[in-house]
Amino acid sequence: DASFFCFHCRDPKYLKEIQPESNWGYHDYRDADIANYVAAAERVAERGHIALRMGAVVGKPVHSTSRSVLDYARNYRCDFMDIYLGAKCRFLLTCDTGISIVPEVFKRPVVYANFVPIARPSTWVRDALIIPKKLFLRNEERLMTFSEIVDSGLGVAGDSSQFEELGVEIRENTPEEITAVAIEMEDRISGTWEYGGDDEKLQDEVWSILGVGNRRSPGFRFGAQFLRDNAALVS
C-alpha cells in the first residue's frame, strides 16, 4: 500500500545494446544524466513516497543515501512491472522518452524535464509539467529565447546536427531546476500548490510563442519556478 512515484531519463545505452548495428547519434540531443534527477527523487521521497528509477537497459546506476530511492531498473525490473508501475505511480518524472507513454495512457501525471525540442510536447496529457533544456549560442555567449528557438526551427528539430549547424550548445536542466518542478507536481497532487503573481502571465506568453495556444490540456503547464527564473527568455 506504499505510495510511490517513478523517475527516469533517456541515455544511449538502450539503443546501443538493442540495435548496435544502427547509428542512433542523430537524436542524442534527447539524452540526459540520471544523476541530475536524484536530488528531486530524494526530495519527493521525503514527503513519504518511494522513488523507483525506471528503465529497461540503463547506463549509470543511481547513487542515493535515501533508503526510499530504489534503482528498480538495475535490480528488480521486469516487463509486467514496467507497465504496472507506470499505470499506478503517483507521477512519473522523466524527459522526452518512450517510457512516458505508459502513464500517459493510464492518465497518470507526468513531469518532463530536459525536454527538447520544445515546440513538440505531448500536450494531450491531462496533468503534466514541463521544463526544457536551454540552448546556448556559442558565438554570442548567451541563451536563446523561446521566440528565437521557434524562429530558427530548433523548436521542432529532429537531428542533433541541426543544433551543431547553428552553433548551439544544449544545456541540461540543473538538479535544482528538476527538483523545483518535481516538488511543484507533488504540491499540485497534494492540493498545496500556491501560484505566484506573474505565473499565469508567463504561462500564456510561453504557450503563445510555441503556437500551441488552446490546443493543449488545461493541466499541461510549464514549471512555474523555471519560468520565474527564466522570464527573460519568454520574449
- Tens-digit pLDDT profile for residues 165-211: 999 999 999 999 999 999 999 999 999 999 988 999 999 999 999 98
Question: Model confidence at 213, in pLDDT bands (50, 70, 90)?
Answer: low
Tell me what pLDDT residue 199 has: 95
Tell me what pLDDT residue 161 has: 93
Computed over every residue of the chain, the mean pLDDT equals 94
Indicate if the pLDDT at residue 214 is higher than 80: no
The pLDDT tens digits of the residues spanning 65-98 come to 999 999 999 999 999 999 999 999 999 999 999 9
Indicate if the pLDDT at residue 15 is higher than 90: no
Tell me what pLDDT residue 17 has: 84
Tell me what pLDDT residue 216 has: 86
DSSP 216: S
Indicate if the pLDDT at residue 110 is higher than 90: yes
Percentage with pLDDT > 70 across the chain: 99
* Segment 200-224 mean pLDDT: 90
Q: Is the dihedral of CA 43, 133, 94, 26 positive or negative?
A: negative
Contact, 197 vs 117, CB < 8 A? no
Please count the other Cβ atoms lying within 10 Å of the Cβ belonging to residue 204: 12
**3-state SS class at 7:** strand
* Segment 200-226 mean pLDDT: 91
Query: What is the rounded distance in angstroms from the CA atom of residue 71 to the CA atom of residue 73?
Result: 5
* Segment 31-42 mean pLDDT: 97
Query: What is the rounded distance in angstroms from the CA atom of residue 61 to the CA atom of residue 223?
Result: 27
Please count the other Cβ atoms lying within 10 Å of the Cβ belonging to residue 79: 8
Please count the other Cβ atoms lying within 10 Å of the Cβ belonging to residue 132: 26
* Segment 7-11 mean pLDDT: 94
Query: Among the residues of 19-165, which ranges form H helices?
Result: 38-45, 72-75, 79-88, 101-105, 146-152, 160-165
Compute CA distances 120 → 59, 85, 153, 180, whole Å. 26, 26, 12, 22
- This prediction has a pTM of 0.95
CA angle 205/109/160 to nearest 5° reads: 60
Indicate if the pLDDT at residue 18 is higher than 70: yes
Query: What is the rounded distance in angstroms from the CA atom of residue 151 to the CA atom of residue 145?
Result: 10
Contact, 78 vs 52, CB < 8 A? no
Residue with more model confidence, 16 or 165: 165
